[in-house]
């Protein structure tokens, strides 16, 4: 079968890497792909948000299965368009993808169906939002309602910071139309974890737990990014918390979305905050996390294709997942200046050396080929991912490979996985 993977980041390289191993897959296309997918797949010069172009390509090439990586095309309705054209596609409809496309919609669904989350208010008037902030006091969290590439959330420690975040989103419109409405919610303390599940509209199949690292600097300091690293499994998600996340978080949303008339088919990603054995949901995403996808697929055993097809066909209860008992760690290497502005076209050295290490896969994100060179083309450039007998060995292997790779201005966090080590040491 022919498979099309939509997107060009580290998540999409990981999906291409996994799908290319399937005995049922004869050819993989990546649109637009990157320097890492080149070789495993045929890169196609069609942007991830060019739904018309993607649909035309899939029809012309006779693509049997399309797997959508990023959230933006899902919110734009790519799954609806492909299904209407009689093409098989893995990903939620635009109506279901509102769980990520609108923070306000997501909060309403959680409130309606009893999913534990932070108290909140939504605003489309900046003066009203700031009046609420002054009334509530800090700390608070201010979120742009729409898609902002993981950067539309401000954890404000003071009232002034919260008001500035409202102005940035609603007045300055730094996130465009995504900031026309904001959600202001209570600050939740604790340890974050990512909980992902495959869904077929009726039932769900949880994946291994993972933990992302959003802030750009060590110790969770600095502005939020799309993710600076991840590991799986996450020790904070105990077997009991895993069960509760399944039953108290994923199940009511799957049931609730079906009751709303928009059954959820695809990957449902719950961002959890865990404290003293209690779970609250920070947000839902409508796709694989990036970089959580990288360690998750490295640990996923067997063929991914039957799982994706079972989701599409509404028979997820007929399949199962097996997981490598080892741990996996992904360290993101980023361009100078990220998450702000950054240079492009900088040559990357040492990729072959890193990829030659035992149990290491270097997933590309913001890269492209320039003749015989691989150069940077984005903020998050690589996701250096490694397996180990435990988290400590996986960390050591991942950072060993990071040390092989160099380009001017490259930076990364040095503490990915440290929370897992601290928890395991208790």
**How far, in Å, CA of 93 to CA of 81, rounded?**
9
Q: How confident is the model at residue 149 (pLDDT cuts 50, 70, 90)?
A: confident
- pLDDT over 80 at 419, yes or no: yes
Nearest CA-CA partner of 312 in 65, 139, 15: 65
Delineate the domains of the chain, giving CATH numbers in brackets.
2-95 (3.40.50.20), 119-186 (3.30.1490.20), 327-424 (3.90.600.10)
**Is the distance from CB of 302 to CB of 321 less than 8 angstroms?**
yes
The confidence score (pLDDT) of residue 89 equals 98
Q: What is the pLDDT of residues 317-331, one digit of tens each?
A: 999 999 999 999 999
Average pLDDT score over residue span 207-226: 94
Q: What is the pLDDT of residues 100-144, one digit of tens each?
A: 999 999 999 999 999 999 999 999 999 999 999 999 999 999 999
**Is the distance from CB of 150 to CB of 78 less than 8 angstroms?**
no
pTM for the model stands at 0.95
The confidence score (pLDDT) of residue 150 equals 67
């Amino acid at each position: 079968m022919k498979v099309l993977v939509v997107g060009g980041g580290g998540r999409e390289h990981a999906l291409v890497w996994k799908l290319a191993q399937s005995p049922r897959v004869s050819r993989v296309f990546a649109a637009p792909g990157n320097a890492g997918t080149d070789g495993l797949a045929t890169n196609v010069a069609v942007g991830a948000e060019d739904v018309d172009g993607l649909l035309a390509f899939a029809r012309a090439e006779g693509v049997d299965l399309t797997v959508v990586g990023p959230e933006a095309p899902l919110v734009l309705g790519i799954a609806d368009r492909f299904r209407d054209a009689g093409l098989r596609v893995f990903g939620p409809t635009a109506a279901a993808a509102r769980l990520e496309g609108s923070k306000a919609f997501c909060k309403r669904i959680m409130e309606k169906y009893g999913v534990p989350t932070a108290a909140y208010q939504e605003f489309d008037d900046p003066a009203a939002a700031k009046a609420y902030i002054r009334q509530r006091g800090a700390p608070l969290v201010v979120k742009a309602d729409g898609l902002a590439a993981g950067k539309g959330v401000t954890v404000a420690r003071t009232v002034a910071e919260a008001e500035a975040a409202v102005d940035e989103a609603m007045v300055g419109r730094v996130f465009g139309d995504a900031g026309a409405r904001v959600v202001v919610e209570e600050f939740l303390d604790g340890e974050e974890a990512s909980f992902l599940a495959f869904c077929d509209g009726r039932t769900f199949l949880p994946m291994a737990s993972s933990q992302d690292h959003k802030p750009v600097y060590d110790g969770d300091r600095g502005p939020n990014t799309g993710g600076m690293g991840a590991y799986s499994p996450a020790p904070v998600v105990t077997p009991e918390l895993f069960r509760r996340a399944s039953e108290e978080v994923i199940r009511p949303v799957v049931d609730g979305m079906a009751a709303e008339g928009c059954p959820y088919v695809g990957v449902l990603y719950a961002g959890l905050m865990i404290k003293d054995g209690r779970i609250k949901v920070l947000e839902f995403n409508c796709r694989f996390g990036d970089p959580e996808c990288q360690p998750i697929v490295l640990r996923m055993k067997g063929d991914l294709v039957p799982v994706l097809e079972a989701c599409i066909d509404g028979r997820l209860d007929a399949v199962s997942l097996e997981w490598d008992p080892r741990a996996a760690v992904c360290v993101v290497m980023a361009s100078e200046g990220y998450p702000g502005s950054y240079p492009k076209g900088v040559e990357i050295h040492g990729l072959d050396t890193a990829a030659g290490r035992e149990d290491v896969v270097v997933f590309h994100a913001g890269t492209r080929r320039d003749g015989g060179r691989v150069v940077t083309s984005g903020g998050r450039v690589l996701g250096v991912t490694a397996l180990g007998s435990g988290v400590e060995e996986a960390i050591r292997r991942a950072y060993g490979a990071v040390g092989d790779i160099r380009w001017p201005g490259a930076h990364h966090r040095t503490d990915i996985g440290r929370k897992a080590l601290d928890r395991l040491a208790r």
